[in-house]
Chains A and B, each alone.
Chain A
């Protein structure tokens, strides 16, 4: 590419060129791989004075350092050659056994040989897309869905269709209708993505009845269900429900798990369990990206499992997080206006709160940052701009007093916005007594409306 030399005064016309550097080199998929307003706003949450209810960070501070040193020391002394060498693509046998044990804690019986160790649960999502998605293929997801899955789906140029949720998780009747409609339109979805337990970001759990129905639908239509299950061991009340993997018997369910929340995200270790033919493709996909998951952290995980201390640690985390969840629910009750609604998770890390629909939580985040508090705006969990008046609040990473203060600050800003909206409309809006419950209608990824184009 040549640059036309042109003085500031202009010595005549020169051919116009595309200013985006390297534009001619980028693959077409990068057109949908863009940064977001949220990411730029989130940069401000790095400041220590900001109370961040935004991240999905587990409380790694509670992990006993001595225990970590002991296991690491043992790995170094007894296994350094293996820890520092390449390993098998599907993972070390001892780690796969540890994963089978974790699955057993969740009530699912899995052979270690059927486990693929991945670099975090995120890689499992990526590998499933890599194996199944051609550009334009449909992925059906919950609305709201895990914000971190959206960039993965769009990077594979998937057409994401979201299905509404309520307190019992994904509305499977609506899912069935959506699948019917897609079929009529000649669009065949490749997989249904769900976080059935303590969903990120909604915090709700799919009921047993819906789990059964979802598995039935998948079997009837021969569709894959990607069950993303990072939080299920972090249950603070209620009875554990069977995984979709167990209900399905491993025919159409791909199960993704991770050590991030029950141990530490810094390990970057997760796993996938899939029907054999799918698993073969996942393994090939993993081979071409990472060669193998880190043997070093795998040995740490199997060593920690062997110590027998893990169940006690998870129990400790449950205690810490239960207190924090209760603090957040109490703070919402105390500081949010009556017109706001929020979910009451039985576990996991998040509460999903919805404000009166005239409040845009992306704009509210800008205000919140000036009050030194942060959350994730709801739009991050939708592909089409929906969720504008909702927010995800994390309770696992802050002390109860901090949670209370953070929620108090957000509540005060919301009250001001409600008041200001009343002044703008010339009447105070009837904000009490709205119907709670609905989180989203069926939404799709359309082109952004031309009218939304902005000037300036």
Chain B
């Protein structure tokens, strides 16, 4: 590489995944420097546009997780500023960020996803929606999983084993988003499939250890969940799981790199997509970097290719 590019690495911010994002960003900065670029880390705040104007970067690397980096608004802003950036375009981010939108698209495309109902605060506050909650049992059957429609981590995700546990679970989900998703409980193995350049990488399986459950803590903490890669699946299942991930990414219009989380439904053996992550974690313990490593791609090579892809599409 000649004199390298000036790359602004956006990280931190105000989202609930701030800490993870700071770690992702720092790792990307080190990698960029190793491959000959000139990274400048920016902890995103109210002065972002001003700082970008001062820095005049050749490229913006988005290592912001959660709402700040994944709902598409940051990408829109960068489009307006004519700054090339890594990852997906605004509309694709917005589709992936909203689990209900993702689910509707998956349904239309015939890709498996757990059945779900969604409730907004407005429906409950202003339309007497509480009465409709009685239909959850008939439509989905208990237990159900209640989650915020838009929230990057597992915060606000609750399990309700019966109707009496539904109100508190909804209240919890509404703390993160004004729309909550009530999803059928799908028994099965938890899989994460990173997709890079349109191709699925080795499948990661997350198994909660005996005394943890796989929530926000486990996702980012060494030692809370047992992660294995490639997941111990037969060849045909592996192929189906990977194809499902690739189709999901294509359907949502995500580009460069992303991660698709799914459950392998033990009832019919089919993958059921839970969500797609437009800016998955890039820390040492994140799933995507470990999967690319298992695929024989080094982190520096990955970062280099993400940079190249961003410049090619700019």
Residues on A facing B (Cβ under 8 Å) = 3-10, 12-14, 16-23, 26, 30-37, 39-41, 43-44, 47, 358-360, 363-364, 366-367, 369, 417, 419-421, 423-426, 447-448, 451-456
User: Number of contacts between A and B (CB, 8 Å)?
Assistant: 193
| CB within 8 Å for A19 and B227 given contacts A363-B176, A423-B124 | yes
B223, A26: Cβ atoms closer than 8 Å: yes
A456, B168: Cβ atoms closer than 8 Å: no
| CB within 8 Å for A19 and B290 given contacts A44-B16, A426-B130 | yes
10 new A-B contacts, CB < 8 A, other than A18-B226, A40-B20, A454-B159, are A34-B223, A37-B215, A40-B19, A358-B168, A451-B143, A452-B159, A455-B274, A456-B145, A456-B157, A456-B261
B228, A16: Cβ atoms closer than 8 Å: yes
| CB within 8 Å for A453 and B214 given contacts A8-B201, A359-B171 | yes
B19, A363: Cβ atoms closer than 8 Å: no
| CB within 8 Å for A454 and B154 given contacts A20-B227, A358-B167, A420-B125 | yes
Please give the distance in Å from A427's CB to the nearest CB on chain B. Answer: 8
Specify the chain B residue showing the minimal Cβ separation from A449.
B213
| CB within 8 Å for A3 and B293 given contacts A16-B232, A454-B159 | yes
Query: Among the listed stretches B56-64, B72-80, B202-210, which one makes contact with chain A, having 4 or more residues with CB under 8 Å of it?
Result: B202-210
Q: Bound complex: CA of A366 vs CA of B220, how far in Å?
A: 18
Q: Bound complex: CA of A7 vs CA of B201, how far in Å?
A: 7
B300 within 8 A of A: no
B115 within 8 A of A: no
Leading 3 A-B pairs by shortest Cβ distance: A363-B175, A426-B130, A19-B227
A454, B18: Cβ atoms closer than 8 Å: no
Please give the distance in Å from B205's CB to the nearest CB on chain A. Answer: 8
| CB within 8 Å for A8 and B185 given contacts A21-B285, A358-B171 | no
Instruction: Tell which of B200, B213, B239, B293 touches A454, judged by Cβ atoms closer than 8 Å.
Output: B213
A20, B285: Cβ atoms closer than 8 Å: yes
Q: Which of A8, A364, A447 has the most CB of B within 10 A?
A: A8
B130, A366: Cβ atoms closer than 8 Å: no
Residues on B facing A (Cβ under 8 Å) = 14, 16-20, 22, 45, 121, 124-125, 128-131, 133, 143, 145, 147, 154-159, 161, 166-168, 170-172, 174-176, 183, 185-186, 190, 196-197, 199-202, 204-205, 208-218, 220-224, 226-232, 235, 238-239, 242, 261, 263, 274-275, 284-285, 287, 290, 293-296
By a CB distance below 8 angstroms, the chain B residues around A455 are: 145, 157, 159, 183, 185-186, 190, 263, 274
B155, A37: Cβ atoms closer than 8 Å: yes
A454, B229: Cβ atoms closer than 8 Å: no
Q: Bound complex: CA of A55 vs CA of B153, how far in Å?
A: 24
By a CB distance below 8 angstroms, the chain B residues around A26 are: 222-223
Please give the distance in Å from A378's CB to the nearest CB on chain B. Answer: 15
| CB within 8 Å for A366 and B176 given contacts A19-B290, A20-B222, A455-B183 | yes
A367, B285: Cβ atoms closer than 8 Å: no
B290, A34: Cβ atoms closer than 8 Å: no
By a CB distance below 8 angstroms, the chain A residues around B284 are: 21
Please give the distance in Å from B274's CB to the nearest CB on chain A. Answer: 5
By a CB distance below 8 angstroms, the chain B residues around A13 are: 230, 235, 238
Instruction: Tell which of A17, A32, A424 touches B228, judged by Cβ atoms closer than 8 Å.
Output: A17
Please give the distance in Å from B157's CB to the nearest CB on chain A. Answer: 5
Q: Bound complex: CA of A452 vs CA of B170, how far in Å?
A: 15
Instruction: Tell which of A14, A32, A367 touches B230, judged by Cβ atoms closer than 8 Å.
Output: A14
Specify the chain B residue showing the minimal Cβ separation from A7.
B295
A34, B167: Cβ atoms closer than 8 Å: no
Instruction: Tell which of A21, A40, A417, A426 touches B171, judged by Cβ atoms closer than 8 Å.
Output: A417
B294, A43: Cβ atoms closer than 8 Å: no
Specify the chain B residue showing the minimal Cβ separation from A37.
B216
Q: Bound complex: CA of A21 vs CA of B226, how far in Å?
A: 11
Specify the chain A residue showing the minimal Cβ separation from B238.
A10
| CB within 8 Å for A366 and B223 given contacts A34-B217, A426-B130 | no
Q: Bound complex: CA of A85 vs CA of B203, how far in Å?
A: 55
| CB within 8 Å for A41 and B16 given contacts A16-B230, A360-B172 | yes
B296, A366: Cβ atoms closer than 8 Å: no
Q: Could you jot down 25 A-B contacts, CB within 8 Å?
A: A5-B295, A5-B296, A6-B295, A6-B296, A8-B199, A8-B200, A18-B228, A19-B228, A19-B229, A20-B223, A21-B290, A34-B212, A35-B217, A37-B217, A40-B17, A40-B216, A44-B14, A44-B16, A360-B175, A423-B121, A423-B129, A424-B170, A426-B130, A455-B145, A455-B186
| CB within 8 Å for A453 and B159 given contacts A20-B227, A21-B222, A37-B216 | yes
Q: Bound complex: CA of A2 vs CA of B152, how far in Å?
A: 32
By a CB distance below 8 angstroms, the chain B residues around A456 are: 145, 147, 154, 157, 183, 261, 274-275
Please give the distance in Å from A169's CB to the nearest CB on chain B. Answer: 30
By a CB distance below 8 angstroms, the chain B residues around A367 are: 175
By a CB distance below 8 angstroms, the chain B residues around A39 are: 19
A40, B157: Cβ atoms closer than 8 Å: no
Q: Bound complex: CA of A366 vs CA of B155, how far in Å?
A: 9
A363, B156: Cβ atoms closer than 8 Å: yes
A34, B227: Cβ atoms closer than 8 Å: no
By a CB distance below 8 angstroms, the chain A residues around B226 are: 18, 20
By a CB distance below 8 angstroms, the chain B residues around A47 are: 14, 45
Instruction: Tell which of A3, A33, A40, A364 touches B294, judged by Cβ atoms closer than 8 Å.
Output: A3
Instruction: Tell which of B154, B196, B293 touches A8, judged by Cβ atoms closer than 8 Å.
Output: B196
Specify the chain B residue showing the minimal Cβ separation from A421.
B171
By a CB distance below 8 angstroms, the chain B residues around A369 are: 14, 16
Q: Bound complex: CA of A38 vs CA of B274, how far in Å?
A: 25
Specify the chain A residue showing the minimal Cβ separation from B181.
A456
Q: Bound complex: CA of A99 vs CA of B130, how far in Å?
A: 61
Specify the chain A residue showing the minimal Cβ separation from B185.
A455
Please give the distance in Å from A250's CB to the nearest CB on chain B. Answer: 39
A366, B175: Cβ atoms closer than 8 Å: yes
By a CB distance below 8 angstroms, the chain B residues around A8 are: 196-197, 199-202, 295
Q: Bound complex: CA of A40 vs CA of B281, how far in Å?
A: 14
Q: Bound complex: CA of A421 vs CA of B201, how far in Å?
A: 43
Please give the distance in Å from A423's CB to the nearest CB on chain B. Answer: 5
A17, B222: Cβ atoms closer than 8 Å: no
By a CB distance below 8 angstroms, the chain B residues around A447 are: 210-211
Q: Bound complex: CA of A13 vs CA of B159, how far in Å?
A: 35
Please give the distance in Å from B156's CB to the nearest CB on chain A. Answer: 6
B224, A34: Cβ atoms closer than 8 Å: yes
Specify the chain B residue showing the minimal Cβ separation from A427.
B130
Q: Bound complex: CA of A148 vs CA of B161, how far in Å?
A: 33
